[in-house]
Structure formats: structure tokens, C-alpha cells
């Protein structure tokens, strides 16, 4: 994902508790930390689903 300052980050999908658009997309982690990203809520959701699918696939 991309923070508002343009820095690309990787977020631990297992720690995501809430994703809000206020209008910025705010990801709240189970630790209470909040991260604001450029991607939409739906895009973050799709990235998490894709990641989970990849983790659960049998190679």
C-alpha cells in the first residue's frame, strides 16, 4: 500500500481490524495503530483477499 507521503508499505493483513474511508482510507490495526493510505477501502479489501488466497493455495 502507499502512505499519503508516497512511501510504499506492507501491512500485516492479520492485524487489520477496521478499514474506513473518511474520505482518506484509514486502516486501524488490532494494536490501535492507525495508518492512512492512498488506496481505497475496496482496493485494500481486495489486496487482503488476494494475499489470503495466496497464503492458502496449495503449491
In a domain, 17, yes or no: yes
Mean pLDDT per 10-residue section of the chain, whose length is 59 residues: 96 96 96 97 96 84
Look-up of cell digits 487489520: 16
| Domain tally, the chain | 1
In a domain, 32, yes or no: yes
Residue 2 is predicted with a pLDDT of 97
SS in 3 state form for 3-59? Answer: ECCCCECCCCHHHEEEEEECCCEEEEECCCCEEEECCCHHHHHHHHHHHHHHHHCCC
Domain that includes residue 31, residue range: 13-56
In a domain, 8, yes or no: no
In a domain, 24, yes or no: yes
CA angle 45, 54, 32 (to 5 degrees): 45
In a domain, 4, yes or no: no
Residue 21 is predicted with a pLDDT of 96
pTM for the model: 0.87
In a domain, 5, yes or no: no
Amino acid at each position: 500500500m502507499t502512505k499519503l507521503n508516497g512511501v510504499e508499505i506492507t501491512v500485516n493483513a492479520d492485524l487489520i481490524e477496521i478499514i474506513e474511508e473518511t474520505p482518506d482510507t484509514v486502516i486501524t490495526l488490532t494494536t490501535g495503530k492507525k495508518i492512512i493510505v492512498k488506496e481505497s477501502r475496496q482496493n485494500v479489501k481486495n489486496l487482503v483477499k488476494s494475499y489470503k488466497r495466496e497464503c492458502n493455495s496449495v503449491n
